[in-house]
A and B are shown apart, each in its own frame.
Chain A
Amino acid sequence: MVHWTDKERSTVRAVWEKLDIDQIGPEALARVLIVYPWTERYFGGFGDMFTATAVLNNSKVAAQGKVVLKALDRAVKNMDNIKGTYAALSRMHYEKLNVDPDNFRLLADCITITVACKLKGDLSPQTQATWQKFLSVVVEAMGSQYS
């Protein structure tokens, strides 16, 4: 089980409270698709994603971005059992969606950069460390049911 100090718990909550899921979600997912274009393989029915502008204006990308960030809320609320919280979601991404789990790491990095744009100086080095620790636990949980 992952060990969290009180300070780490409050840091993750404090960062999360500053985020508007409806803004951060779409931007983070758009960044993944633009910065790592091979990730488009998982979003075949989304229509035009040929240019950065198309991705940024794509309503399906925006909607999916919100879905993903809403799911992250479950980890924020269940920090002591992130692995259990995401077991079913992990299995679904493996068996049904066939997602290479390395993509979870790429998405996590894009979420961090989107959060950095939003929080600016409030994302201190220590806050960044705690936030990235949290996301790495999420990434590991999302890959945990791949076998």
Chain B
Amino acid sequence: MTPMSLTAKDKDTVKAFWAKIAGKADDIGTDALSRMLVVYPQTKTYFSHWKDLSPGSAPVRKHGQTVMGGVADAVKKIDDLSAGLLSLSELHAFTLRVDPANFKILSHNILVVLATMFPTDFTPEVHVSVDKFLAALSRALSEKYR
């Protein structure tokens, strides 16, 4: 599915929701990554260099922080994700070479974590805007792949 462009309403919704959840960004990152590695074991293939892939382990926590730092940055640059995430895009294309199908998988797990942690705030309206945002983010990250 080609992500549609974000409407003004989507951007406002994402920014408002992010303001609510930013304080828990590290926990969100840790939990989302933990779930991804358990629910989609094929994603473990990217982390063979880690000593411990179990939920909440030190490398998972550290990497969760890194990932959510990227998401935070993307929220700031929501008006032009392609330009704003250029260096991250090049990193993923030329160094990390993560199969882009995995962006969908991680996005899904971020949504699940948001639902468990913010059940009243993660309304269907917020859900659709965040889903679109993560899809646009993923597209920006895979832009330099080929």
Contact = CB atoms under 8 A, between A and B. Distances in A.
Interface of A: 27, 30-31, 34-35, 52, 55-56, 109, 112-114, 116-121, 123, 125-126, 128-129, 132
A113 B39 contact: no
Contact of B39 (A118, A119, A121, A125): A125
A128 B39 contact: yes
Interface of chain B, main secondary structure: helix
B115 A117 contact: yes
Given A35-B124, A35-B131, A52-B125, A120 B39 contact: no
A94 B37 CA distance: 34
Contacts of A109: 108
Contact of A132 (B37, B39, B122, B128): B39
Interface string B95-129: 00000000000001001110111010011110110
Given A116-B116, A117-B119, A128 B35 contact: yes
A119 B113 CA distance: 11
Contacts of B138: none
Contact of A125 (B55, B111, B124): B55
B142 interface: no
B127 A34 contact: yes
Interface string B120-146: 001111011001000000000000000
Given A35-B131, A117-B116, A125-B39, A52 B124 contact: yes
Interface residues of B, number: 22
B122 A117 contact: yes
Contacts of B127: 31, 34-35, 113
A31 B127 CA distance: 8
B115 A125 contact: no
A3 to B, nearest CB: 16
Contact of A128 (B38, B124, B131): B38
Contacts of B124: 27, 30-31, 34-35, 52, 55-56
Interface in B19-57: 31, 34-35, 37-39, 55
A34 B113 CA distance: 19
Contacts of B119: 116-118, 120
